[in-house]
Structures are given as structure tokens and as C-alpha cells.
Chains A and B, each alone.
Chain A
Amino acid sequence: QVQLQESGPGLVKPSQTLSLTCTVSGGSISGGGYYWSWIRQPAGKGLEWIGRMYTSGTTNYNPSLKSRVTISIDTSKNQFSLKLSSVTAADTAVYFCARDMGIWFGGMFYYAMDVWGQGTTVTVSS
């Protein structure tokens, strides 16, 4: 079955760019019907969706983060990536990647994140 694994630096300095990669195994990232999402969770707090990308290049971003976020896909490596610029301590969190599955149900299309990586902790500190 499809598995996701996040990787990247665990420590980023303030004002720098956070860069994470999610490697997809057990299936092709180019397989139709999926977006590929990033979500984060500060310690002891709730989930915040960051954004997602379809293999066609379509992206959707959280409006509160849009000016700082870039999500990209590398189909040759079966990976997708997150870049978050100008980070501050408020960006310290566990970052998850997830498959955003499209489901045709009851005459409509719905999306739900059905496969998740285990998460990686990123701390923003000098």
C-alpha cells in the first residue's frame, strides 16, 4: 500500500526558508485522482492545512500562508516538496504530508486525506 515519509532539516533559523520533502512509496505520485497535501501541528495544538498540489500543476494554498508557501512535485523521484519562506518561531511544528484522495460519491466529488506520513518536527530557532 502507499506510504509517505517526510524528510528535511529539523532546525531552521528565523527568516530562512523551511524545506521539506515527502517521498511516496508503494504507488506512483502520478496516479490520477490525487492531490498531495502538507499539514502542520504546533506542539499541543490543532491541525493546520498548508496547501496541496495536483500532478497537473494545480495548487491550492491556505490563504494565511499563501504568500510564503510553495509546493512542488517531482514525478521522476516520486516526491513532493514544501518550501516555507521567512520563517519565525510561530512556524515551529510537526509537519505532515498526506495524500488527498478524490472520491466520486452521491453525484459529487469529495476530497479526504486518506494516507499520511508519520510527521517530522521542525524547530525555528537561532
Chain B
Amino acid sequence: DIQMTQSPSSLSASVGDRVTITCRASQSIGSSLNWYQQQPGKAPNLLIYAASSLQSGVPSRFSGSGSGTDFTLTISSLQPGDFATYYCQHSSSTHTFGQGTKLEI
């Protein structure tokens, strides 16, 4: 089974900062990688699909890159509503989530 490992597990930042979260797959997965944001008590929200494509309605300060085993989610200038937990997810016939990265002030 493919394992997804995110780093860091938690991250402290400030409004206006540029932040990068990393996701590593245990074997090559091409571009089959999605990113989600989850606010406390809410369902996850799709941000990025196919590693680098911005989901409709998601602000352009979010971007994704990578292929193969190493992927990144970048938030170019943190806004107050961006403090949340972020998950990467390998999409295949069986989906696998990373363990999450909590972004805190």
C-alpha cells in the first residue's frame, strides 16, 4: 500500500507569511495528488487536484506542485481564514490521506 507522509505536522505562521507544506508518497504516484483544507468542526474542502490544478472558487494564493513522490502546497500570503488543517490525498482506486498539517497562528 502507498503511504502518504506530510511535513511538518504543525506549523506556526502569521498573516501575510508564505507557507509551504510537503507531502511525500512511499512510491511514485505521478500527479494523482489532491490537497484539502479543513476548518475545525467542518468537512474538508478541495483546494488542489491533480497535484497543481486549482479547484474552482479557490483563491489563487493557493498553489500546488510536484510529481512522482514529492509534492508541495504553497500559500503565498496567509489570510486569517487560512489557519486550518491541510491534508494531502493520493487518488487511485483506493484513496489515502496524509496525516495532516495543522497551520496555527
Which A residues lie at the B interface, using CB under 8 A?
37, 46-49, 52, 60-63, 96, 98, 103, 105-106, 108, 110-114, 116-119
Contact = CB atoms under 8 A, between A and B. Distances in A.
Interface residues on B, range: 20 to 34
Is chain B's interface secondary structure helix, strand, loop, or mixed overall?
Answer: loop
A108 B34 contact: no
Interface of B: 1, 30-32, 34, 36, 38, 42-46, 49-50, 53, 55, 87, 89, 91, 93-100
A108 B94 contact: no
A46 B53 contact: no
B94 to A, nearest CB: 6
Contact of A103 (B36, B49, B98, B100): B49
Is chain A's interface secondary structure helix, strand, loop, or mixed overall?
Answer: strand
Contact of B43 (A49, A61, A110, A116): A116
Contacts of B87: 46-47
Contact of B46 (A62, A108, A114): A114
